[in-house]
Amino acid sequence: MNFIYFSRAMALGALVIVASCSSDSKPAETVAAAPLASAPAPVATPAAAPAAAAPAEPAVPAASAGFDPTTAPIVTPTLGAFPYFSLLDGYVKMDEKTAPGNSAREYNKEVNFDRYEFFDGAKIIPVEGKLLTVSALGKAASFFQAQKTYEKLVHDLGGVTVFEGSGEKMKDLKLKYEDPRHRSRYGMTGQEKSGVYMLRTPDKEVWVEVYKTYSSNPENYWLTVVEKKVLPMEASVLPAAEMKKALDATGHVALYLNFDTDQATLKPDAQPTITQIISLLAQNPDLKLAVQGHTDNAGTPAHNQELSEARARTVAAALTGQGIAASRLQAAGFGQTKPLVDNTSEPNKAKNRRVELVKL
């Protein structure tokens, strides 16, 4: 109603009653959403009970959901070659030359496919794809500068910040990385800091983490870049008949079994190959095999030796656990000492990470 009409309605009660019965009245929500109109508003009668308020839904803290990758904008920046981001000026990668004897070197890694966990301030997000992890050594920058440098690089490409802060939030939420690697090595997650950033393009997600560990020099940092992608199928299950043919021809056959990263635990997708080895041994009851583990040259020779031995024992145990007599098997590891090809590229390293069956 307009101001003049309202004034008259207040002065003349009869007009108010007439106005309340007008057939031109609008629903309350329509009047509220519209600009002031000349038509009078309805007046509630004593018989009209107020509408019951809808029960309030339980409030859910916004932070509980954490970061949703699908909400990041899709952008089309010009990217170079993986890993897309370099170390800060004045920094070098930790290796045998720059940090001799430092056991943390084994966490430096560049692989074609891996699984890495990122903390978003509320939960842990596992991302699978091509991975690079580098320990950056230098004295040119604070960790805050490292955070803000990579944040700006990602933002300039159209990406977003997922999380910046200390591990105290993880500690408060009682969260732990399933595979911490260089992080939380001394159980001091609350004293460590990180920055996590993500870039989403039409065909990929690029995740970046800059991390300061509890034990590192205040000016050193770890850089991890993951390009999310599906597992590249570079190997297939070798049938028992093909294994037998290779053993008869050369005395050995290379198998590519998937293990947990830097562990001796077989992944579930290794079972079809284990089944074929069992079939091979069942069809050839006189056959005895050496199960030999091999690695690439990432990490220390001593660590690789231990890892290859443990993986060989795991495969042998998987066979004996499914009915193969232990007397028909021998387990041994050779670490990085017997590469099939040089370790100068990721495809070559993948060929060297193998388990061989050798005819005894």
pLDDT digits (tens, 9 = 90+) for 17-46: 333 333 343 333 333 333 323 334 444 444
Average pLDDT over residues 189-208: 94
Q: Which helix (H) or strand (E) holds 210?
A: strand 205-212
What is the reported pTM? 0.55
Tokens standing for residue 200: 């989403």
**272 with 239: CB under 8 angstroms?**
no
Q: What is the pLDDT of residues 107-147, one digit of tens each?
A: 999 988 889 999 999 999 999 999 999 999 998 899 999 99
Which residues fall within 8 angstroms of residue 172, CB to CB, at 6 or more apart?
none
Residue 266: the pLDDT is: 93
- Amino acid identity of 97? K
Between 48 and 201, the more confident residue is 201
Q: What is the pLDDT of residues 236-275, one digit of tens each?
A: 688 999 999 999 999 999 999 989 878 999 988 899 999 9
| Alpha-carbon distances of 218 from 118, 129, 303, 312, rounded to whole Å | 22, 30, 27, 40
CA torsion, points 101, 106, 110, 115, in degrees to nearest 10?
Answer: -160
Tokens standing for residue 359: 């005819």
Residue 235: the pLDDT is: 60
Q: What is the pLDDT of residues 48-87, one digit of tens each?
A: 444 444 444 444 334 458 999 999 999 999 999 999 999 9
**207 with 127: CB under 8 angstroms?**
yes
- Amino acid identity of 325? A
Residue 299: the pLDDT is: 84
Find the DSSP H helices in 115-231.
143-156, 168-172
